[in-house]
């Protein structure tokens, strides 16, 4: 019997929610959510800013017993009190086996996790070197390539925020190596490089709800491709539009 996905499905128990017009339940993608089934390897959550993908990722992470700001399940730091209540209403369906490794990599609060690691003196999983002694991208990449050991369940929220295009391609290789060692990922991203990973499901969050799309159907792919294939003409259109305003 296939052990993965470690996290099979999530559902929202709408009967528990008193005010469906309140945030975050009023976000269109959340408002229409009944059930999400996750890919055994990688599930991407994509969408414009404000579409609810980070809100949903946070709720999944909290429901899976991570701290709100990321790290392993042993890291319990919270610098703000703006955590969405959505996680209280998620019903999770896991497989019969449990992952041996876990990590929540969250771009916006990774600095706080790095500070916590320094404070507790636990740097063994990060090459025995302070994450603050590296660039943001190097710190992110060290977490991906040194901290994560495989047989794991990993949640990433916009990891590309700190990674150059070449590092994003290297991240694809690292993700594939971890998938090959029985790992599962849930990744919220804007990166057309990361979401090209073939063994995956892409879920687009929008005003229409949550829709599964193919890679080449994503705006990230089509817009990037169109721009790079005809960037002189695109620049002329875009900059002329700006000058005329």
State pLDDT tens for residues 110-136.
666 666 566 655 555 555 566 665 666
What is the pLDDT, as a whole number, of residue 1? 38
Whole-model pTM? 0.89
Determine the Cα–Cα distance for residues 99 and 29; give it in Å rounded to an integer.
Answer: 29
Nearest of 158, 195, 162, 197 to residue 176 by alpha carbon? 197
Higher pLDDT, 208 or 81: 208
Q: Look at residue 203 and give its three-state secondary structure.
A: strand
Nearest of 46, 7, 97 to residue 203 by alpha carbon? 46
Q: Give the pLDDT mean for 196-224.
A: 95
State pLDDT tens for residues 156-204.
999 898 889 999 999 999 999 999 999 999 999 999 999 999 999 999 9
Contact 49, 59 (CB under 8 A): no
What is the pLDDT, as a whole number, of residue 193? 96
Determine the Cα–Cα distance for residues 199 and 189; give it in Å rounded to an integer.
Answer: 16
Q: Give the pLDDT mean for 54-60.
A: 94
Determine the Cα–Cα distance for residues 222 and 211; give it in Å rounded to an integer.
Answer: 17
> Which backbone phi and psi does 136 adopt, to 5 degrees?
-55, -45
């Amino acid at each position: 019997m296939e052990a993965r996905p470690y996290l099979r499905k999530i559902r929202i128990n709408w009967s528990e929610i008193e005010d469906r017009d309140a945030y975050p339940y009023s976000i269109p993608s959340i408002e229409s959510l009944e059930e999400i089934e996750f890919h055994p390897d990688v599930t991407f959550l994509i969408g414009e800013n404000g579409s609810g993908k980070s809100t949903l990722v946070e709720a999944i992470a909290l429901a899976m017993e991570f701290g709100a700001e990321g790290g392993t399940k042993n890291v319990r730091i919270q610098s703000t009190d703006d955590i969405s209540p959505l996680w209280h209403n998620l019903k999770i369906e896991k497989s019969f086996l449990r992952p041996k490794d876990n990590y929540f990599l969250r771009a916006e609060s990774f600095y706080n996790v790095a500070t916590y690691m320094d404070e507790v003196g636990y740097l063994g999983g990060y090459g025995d070197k302070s994450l603050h002694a590296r660039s943001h991208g190097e710190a992110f990449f060290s977490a991906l390539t040194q901290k994560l050991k495989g047989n794991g369940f990993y949640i990433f929220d916009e990891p590309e925020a700190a990674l150059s295009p070449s590092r994003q391609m290297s991240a694809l290789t690292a993700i594939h190596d971890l998938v090959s060692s029985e790992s599962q990922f849930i990744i919220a991203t804007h990166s057309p490089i990361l979401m090209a990973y073939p063994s995956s499901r892409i879920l687009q969050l929008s005003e229409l709800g949550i829709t599964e799309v193919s890679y080449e159907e994503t705006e990230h792919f089509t817009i990037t491709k169109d721009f790079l294939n005809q960037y002189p003409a695109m620049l002329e259109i875009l900059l002329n539009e700006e000058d005329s305003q």
